[in-house]
Amino acid sequence: WGDDVLPSLICPFMRFQREWNTGARVDSIEPCMCSQHHHILKIVCVHMEYLEDIDLVVCSCHPAAIQLVSQGLFPCSPLAPTLAVSMDMLEFVSDLFVNMAPNERAWAATLMKYLKAHGHEFATGDSLRQRFANTLAHYQVLVRLVKAEMTK
């Protein structure tokens, strides 16, 4: 994450925030037409009120992390994520954990129960808690990097 991926996400993150805050429609990613090898990642996207399964076409010039952040999602891992969480949810949880003791286990259990009650369920044995905690931690680092960039 550190020296390569997170710094590469600063501009896409700032662009998404600017578009989102001005009410502009966030455009979908244009398909890559390069001659490099492309592969498809199957990713579960966790939004505030629903789950979404997406197939993301990636290559070295269109990495998953940049595509996801450009769409308002943050990946659980830098190269081949299986889960992405909406940045709205990550902001909510970050603010929540400022005002109470951080507890990713309780949050993940509550989220799974809430989504299940609304007809959205994770596959059996899916480790949401660990992937969510990883996503949240790296998202918070990105937010700090963006704030540092803004003060330059």
Cα–Cα distance for residue pair 88/92, rounded to 1 Å:
6
The residue assigned the tokens 């507890």 is 103
pLDDT of residue 26: 66
- Give 83's strand partners: 44
Please answer whether residues 81 and 68 qualify as being in contact, where contact means their C-beta atoms are separated by less than 8 angstroms: yes
CB 31 within 8 A of CB 57: yes
Whether the predicted model's global pTM rises above the 0.85 cut:
yes
Is the Cβ–Cβ distance between 98 and 123 less than 8 Å?
no
pLDDT in tens, 2-35: 788 999 999 999 999 998 888 776 666 777 788 8
